Structure 1
Amino acid sequence: MPRHDATDLARRLGEHAEAVCRHYLSNGRRSGNYWQVGDVRNIPGRSMFVRLKASPKGPPGKWTDAATGQHGDLLDVIRESMGLIDFKDVLDEARSFLAMPDATTAPDQTRRTPNPVPTGSTEASRRLFAMSQPISGTLVETYLRGRGITILQGTGSLRFHSRCYYRPDDHGPTETWPAMIAAVTDLDARLTGAHRTWLMPDATSKAPVDTPRRAMGDLLGHAVRFGVPYSVMAAGEGIETTLSLRCAVPDMAMAAALSAAHLAAILFPPTLRRLYIIRDNDPAGDGARDSLIERATDAGIEALVLSPVMGDFNEDLRQFGLDALRAEIADQLIRTDRLRYLKRAA
């Protein structure tokens, strides 16, 4: 690939700098003539600045990370946010975004797609999450609100994909459904996997498929995270159960481990001093609770259990309402946390 072709692609991306940022750096936001985000891998924050309009300082699309001193153009953004290694894949992705043909193919040939990655791998998870969009105004927001989950700030780990592939089995035909995509991350906020919840096109329920929820990537010890944990956090199994409890205590950091087995094995942040275990009211939930209490106690972490009245906290939220859920939780939090979290949530 001649250097001038890559330079031309970077220039063309710069002409659509805000659209590029909204797609590949979706955890950021516009601030004046700049897009601000945590870093080039799309971590939430404000230390990286992408120029959106030409100025005496340079063309649009150039960026600088004030925290690290890194800088580059929008091709670098595509490479890092999607975890691409081969530069040819970066250029292909840029052309795809710009709807341009591959310069190395004849006019009647289709553009070569990026090198395939193993199905279900961490790299596949990273690409799926990068191809999805924030949930605001999407079917995911409609679906969650329909489940009684109305407090959605701080849910950058969730995204929406309008046509997510679903295959019933290894030999069945591939279908496409709208889906909620959740990022599974480690304690350093690195994406290790993804979770998909396929939805009905009207967002009234999950899709009518055999397994409407599936996870992929490296999951053990990791979780879908909401908020940054310090000395106190809560951890549960399902995303909707965890988000339901978060409606009652929105300022408490929480993590959804995606299954009872993974909840029992969740890793503890080094600053954690007290862990609330969000229990599902079933035998698997009881087993996860007991294992996690034992592990937390051995690590010098106080472990307390939050138990629902019904099967899980989403059932409680939908059946009894938010005020009743807050009252239910108040009796299970220690006094310090009750004053810290519930007073501000009221």
Structure 2
Amino acid sequence: METVSDIARRLADNAEAVCRRYLSNGRREGRYWLVGDVRNAPGRSLYVRLSGSGDASGQPGKWTDAESGEHGDLLDVIAASCGHANLRDTLAEARRFLSLPATDNAEPANPKPRKAPGGTPAAARRLWAAAHPTAGTLAASYLAGRGIHRAGNDPALRFHPSCYYRASRDDVPGVRSTYPAMIASVTNDHGAVVGVHRTWLDPAGGKADVAYPRRAMGQLLGYGVRFEAAAEVMAAGEGVETILSLREILPAMPMIAGLSAAHLAAIRFPETLRRLYVACDRDAAGKGALATLRERAVELHIEVVPLIPAHDDFNSDLCAMGRDAFAGRAAGLLRHEDVGRFLKS
């Protein structure tokens, strides 16, 4: 008879198939399955790791809910989605699932290795190497249209004139396979590129007219798009444009974009960090990420200071208010000692 650990490992080997069965309201994005919660509500707050990262930072089948702070494994997913009251029922359901033959939707537990398969850190580094500096490109024009002017030569950003776009089931028929794209590098604690974030652009202006104009790939959990080296005082936010908007008025403050509320909640704290400004979006997922970061920071004696936008996010604030009013509002959100040190209108 297989032990509970044996069953959990077998479920992890078939993590995507488990998610398709028990978290059917979600979808795969890169290495993760995103859904609303462990009870299969629609949304993107909960993320399940579908494959290992090649180091000890995460295992397949582990999940975290950025809004509630819950976390667990795939046995917990089965228990919650089926409404089980005891472990015996959950193990029985898991055994029934594992005895089923593989379906067309499920990938084999041990697929043959491919050279730099799509979505891996190696593929992300390859795309990053093929991209160019953003100055004078469509990416710089796109950012300027969002009120962002300081990012033209930022080393964390590049531009690709013809970046592959994989159509999803939500795209209209005939969507193009390539678009220009702004590329942001996701780096680990040592500054190595482990992933990228892509924003596909319309040559006529704005984002490309596709279902999902923003996607990330590579090793994301715990990491993010970094602007300046880590220090005692930093800011962290969800989106690249949120962080770039803050850097318009706080250019000397080190910042990191987690790329989603779930990933923001899971960013790794640098050893030097003592105060973290959290620029969360004005929604339930943003509040959940803030709560998780506060809980994680307590035992490390890191002060967490919320930065709450007036609108849905800080890029909306910058566009609606203009730089001067945006800076004035930010001054009221910062600690007094940081205003003179970082704020520049």
TM-score range, shorter chain: 0.5 to 0.7
Q: Shift of residue 335 of structure 1?
A: 1.0
Equivalent pair of 2:168/2:211 in contact (CA under 8 Å): no
Match of 2:307, as an amino acid? L
Q: 2:180 is matched with which residue?
A: 178
Q: 1:118 is matched with which residue?
A: 117
Q: 1:148 is matched with which residue?
A: 147
Match of 2:184, as an amino acid? A
**1:34-88 deviations in whole A, cap 9, x for unaligned?**
xxxxxxxxxxxxxxxxxxxxxxxxxxxxxxxxxxxxxxxxxxxxxxxxxxxxxxx
Q: Given the alignment of the two structures, is residue 319 of structure 1 paired with residue 311 of structure 2, yes or no?
A: no
**1:143-176 deviations in whole A, cap 9, x for unaligned?**
0000001122662111000000111138987611
Equivalent pair of 1:154/1:227 in contact (CA under 8 Å): no
Please give the residue correspondences for 1:10-159 in structure 2 after superposition, counting only pairs within 5 Å: 116-152=115-151, 155-159=154-158
Match of 1:147, as an amino acid? R
Q: 2:239 is matched with which residue?
A: 238
Equivalent pair of 1:234/1:275 in contact (CA under 8 Å): yes
| Whole-angstrom distance in 1 between the partners of 2:149 and 2:298 | 34
Equivalent pair of 1:154/1:226 in contact (CA under 8 Å): no
| Whole-angstrom distance in 2 between the partners of 1:262 and 1:217 | 13
| Whole-angstrom distance in 2 between the partners of 1:340 and 1:188 | 26
Question: Could you say if the C-alpha distance between residues 301 and 154 of structure 1 is closer, same or farther in structure 2, counting changes exceeding 3 Å?
Answer: farther
**1:262-305 deviations in whole A, cap 9, x for unaligned?**
00000011111110000200000000010011111221111100
Question: Could you say if the C-alpha distance between residues 306 and 184 of structure 1 is closer, same or farther in structure 2, counting changes exceeding 3 Å?
Answer: same
RMSD of Structure 2 on Structure 1 (CA): 1.7
The total of aligned residue pairs comes to 229
TM-score, scaled relative to structure 1: 0.64
Q: 1:273 is matched with which residue?
A: 274
Q: 2:199 is matched with which residue?
A: 197
Please give the residue correspondences for 1:206-221 in structure 2 after superposition, counting only pairs within 5 Å: 206-221=207-222
Secondary structure in 1 matching 2:210: coil
Q: Shift of residue 191 of structure 1?
A: 0.8
More displaced 10-residue stretch of structure 1: 291-300 or 256-265: 291-300
Question: Could you say if the C-alpha distance between residues 205 and 325 of structure 1 is closer, same or farther in structure 2, counting changes exceeding 3 Å?
Answer: same
| Whole-angstrom distance in 1 between the partners of 2:118 and 2:280 | 32
Question: Could you say if the C-alpha distance between residues 284 and 307 of structure 1 is closer, same or farther in structure 2, counting changes exceeding 3 Å?
Answer: same
Q: Given the alignment of the two structures, is residue 260 of structure 1 paired with residue 265 of structure 2, yes or no?
A: no
Question: Could you say if the C-alpha distance between residues 310 and 340 of structure 1 is closer, same or farther in structure 2, counting changes exceeding 3 Å?
Answer: same
Equivalent pair of 1:182/1:196 in contact (CA under 8 Å): yes
Match of 1:199, as an amino acid? L
Question: Which is bigger in relative contact order (C-alpha 8 A, separation at least 6)?
Answer: 2
Secondary structure in 1 matching 2:268: coil
Aligned residues with identical type, % of pairs: 51
Question: Could you say if the C-alpha distance between residues 278 and 154 of structure 1 is closer, same or farther in structure 2, counting changes exceeding 3 Å?
Answer: farther
Q: 1:188 is matched with which residue?
A: 190
More displaced 10-residue stretch of structure 1: 210-219 or 290-299: 290-299
Q: Given the alignment of the two structures, is residue 228 of structure 1 paired with residue 229 of structure 2, yes or no?
A: yes
Equivalent pair of 2:147/2:318 in contact (CA under 8 Å): yes
| Whole-angstrom distance in 2 between the partners of 1:276 and 1:187 | 19
Q: Given the alignment of the two structures, is residue 307 of structure 1 paired with residue 308 of structure 2, yes or no?
A: yes
| Whole-angstrom distance in 2 between the partners of 1:154 and 1:249 | 16
Equivalent pair of 1:193/1:219 in contact (CA under 8 Å): yes
- Kindly name which structure, 1 or 2, has the bigger radius of gyration based on alpha carbons: 1
Q: Shift of residue 237 of structure 1?
A: 0.2
Structure 2 unaligned segments of length 5 or more: list them. 1-113
Question: Could you say if the C-alpha distance between residues 143 and 228 of structure 1 is closer, same or farther in structure 2, counting changes exceeding 3 Å?
Answer: same
Structure 1 unaligned segments of length 5 or more: list them. 1-114
Q: 1:335 is matched with which residue?
A: 336
Secondary structure in 1 matching 2:295: helix
